Structures are given as C-alpha cells and as structure tokens.
Amino acid sequence: MGRDARTRRAALPRHPGALRGGRVTGPAAGGVLEVVRAGALTTVQDLGRTGLAHLGVPRAGAVDLPAHRLANRLVGNPAGAATLETTLTGCAVRVRAGRPVSVAVTGAPCPVRIDGRPAPWGTTVRVSDGSVVELDAARAGVRGYLAVAGGVAVEPVLGSRSTDLLSGLGPEPLSEGVRLPIGGERGWAPHPDIVPVPGPPVTELVLPLVLGPRDDWFTPAALRLLGAGAWRVSAASNRVGLRTEGPSLERARGGELPSEGVVTGAVQVPPDGRPVVFLADHPTTGGYPVVGVVPEEALAAAAQAVPGLAVRFVPLRR
C-alpha cells in the first residue's frame, strides 16, 4: 500500500461509534441482537463501499458475496442489508425484538441451534423474542453468514455498514455484550424456503487466472508453475488476502514497480514469490507485480478455503 493512499485514508472520518460500551447509540426500530459469544472473528458486512478507491478506501463487504446475498434473500431482505460474517468458530446472539423474527444461516456449513436445540442451516427460521441463535464451528469452509429480517442496522460509514479491517472504517469486530440494532422489517417479501448452494472447496481450490497486467515480470517456467497445483492456503490468510505456501515464482526482471491500482481478485506476488489473492479488505494500490486477476465469480470459493488446502491456478490469456 503506497504512502499516499495511507495519508488519504488517515484523513477520512472514522466510525463514530454506533456501538459504545455495549450499548446501541442509534435507533433500533426492529430491536437488537445481543452478542452472547463473539467467536474468533465476527464482523458486520454488507456489499461494501464502492467508488472510493481513489481515496484509498477498500470495498470491504462480505468476502463470500453469494452466501451473503442468499442469507438476505432467505429472510426477505434486499441484497445490500448487513449480515454478520463469522470466521471458523461461529457466534451466538440473543434476539431482543419484542416479537418473533426470521433468521437464516449460509456460507460455511455448520450446526445451528436455537436455545440449544438443533435448527436447520440454509433456510429461513422463525425465532422467538429472547431466544439465542448459535452458529457452531464450521464443518467445512471458513466464513458463515447470519441474516436477520430487517438487517443489522449499525450506522453507515461512507455509504456502507461493513467492517473494514484494513482501513479501520465501520464497526469494530464483535465482542461479548455488544448490542446490534435490527432494522425495521418491510413487511412480507417473497423468499425461498430452501435454495441449493455449492459447497466450499474440500480437496483443492481451483482458481481461474486472467494473466496480466504484469505477467511479463515472470519467467515462462514461473507461469507454467501456476497451473501445477504447487501451493497450499496459508494460515496467515485473512479478509485482506488469501496467502499461499509453496514454491516461489521466478522473476524475469528485477526492481520494483511504482504503486499502481489493484482490484479485488488481483494476484500480487511479493518478494518471497508466493502468490497472494486479494480479497475484500485489500489495499487499493500496491507496488508488487500482479501476475493475473481471479474473476469475481471465483472468489467465493477462495473465501471458504481452509488453511492447508491445495491451491491451483488455471492461467487464461486475455
């Protein structure tokens, strides 16, 4: 990330604290979700901040956008409503709405419980006021999505309710005792009961890769290596990027690039030579060469790739 981007980002307004001391500071037309167990990393996410890359602001938003959209669809929300994105170990929230509400869980398959009793995953569930909704640890994949009818209505920042771990915009990752406002429901909306969804990658993560703009910085042998399935997902992966472990891509030229714009799905190659696939919280500029870009429709699988999973790129010429 270039110094100019960091300077611009530092000048942006920080989140004013829609959640302070475990209390809701804004209106909660539909009640609140009280965090009982925060899990390893649970954040508020929507479709993200668009059109602000020139200010050094990442898009952020849900890493697995199809799972986020589906969770909202199941409870009758618009796609842009905010959900809770969990990481590996799930979370638990208590509904305080004064009425029953609809919830749905998608993304990484996991056991779901309502007040300790098993509940279905991947479909709409009606939850009574005062009940605890719990997502257990993922059985496969990494990130789960909990949607509630009305959406999670924390205060938007720069047009989005998303937590951005790179820039610090949006609400903090959840902690026990925090109370999240629920938006008012819009009345009945048609939504499906059950929708088939693809499972997370289990044996291998296969990513199509449109080569460029800096594939000429690498040797022909390095480009052949991309398709050999020589890497595994690193445990250092996060919302910024999927990092890999394995051999180094050999450069055809030395030196470094001036900082240039990068997009979601860009595969940047740092000095250690191991590819990094940029995800939702990636920086907007970078000085390491980008060997190619993974199309957005393939990134949901990357969002659900567990550490240690084999990674293979399928290079495509423009």
Q: What is the pLDDT of residues 188-219, one digit of tens each?
A: 566 676 677 888 999 999 999 999 999 999 99
Buried-exposed string 201-217: b where 16+ CB fall within 10 A, e elsewhere: beeebebebbbeebbeb
**Which range has the worst mean pLDDT, 75-84, 124-133, 251-260?**
251-260
Dihedral pair phi/psi, residue 59, rounded to 5°: -70, -40
CA distance linking residue 315 with residue 220, whole number of Å: 12
Which tens digits make up the pLDDT trace of 51-63?
999 999 999 999 9
User: Strand 204-211 to strand 310-316: parallel, antiparallel, or no bridges (unpaired)?
Assistant: parallel
CATH annotation of 204-316: 2.40.100.10
The residue with tokens 């915009």 is 169
Average pLDDT over residues 251-267: 93
Residues 177 and 185: beta-carbon distance below 8 Å: no
Residue 20 has pLDDT above 70, yes or no: no
Please report, for the chain, the start and end positions of each structural domain, with discontinuous segments joined by +: 3-181, 204-316
Mean model confidence pLDDT for the chain: 90
Residue 24 has pLDDT above 60, yes or no: no
pLDDT confidence of 220, banded at 50, 70, 90? very high
Q: What percent of the chain has pLDDT over 90?
A: 82
Residue 19 has pLDDT above 90, yes or no: no
Q: Please give the pLDDT value at position 45.
A: 98
Q: Please give the pLDDT value at position 105.
A: 97
Residue 318 has pLDDT above 90, yes or no: no
Which tens digits make up the pLDDT trace of 284-309?
999 999 999 999 999 999 999 999 99
Residue 4 has pLDDT above 80, yes or no: no
The helix (H) or strand (E) run that includes residue 146 is strand 143-148
pTM over 0.85: yes
The residue with tokens 């699988």 is 301
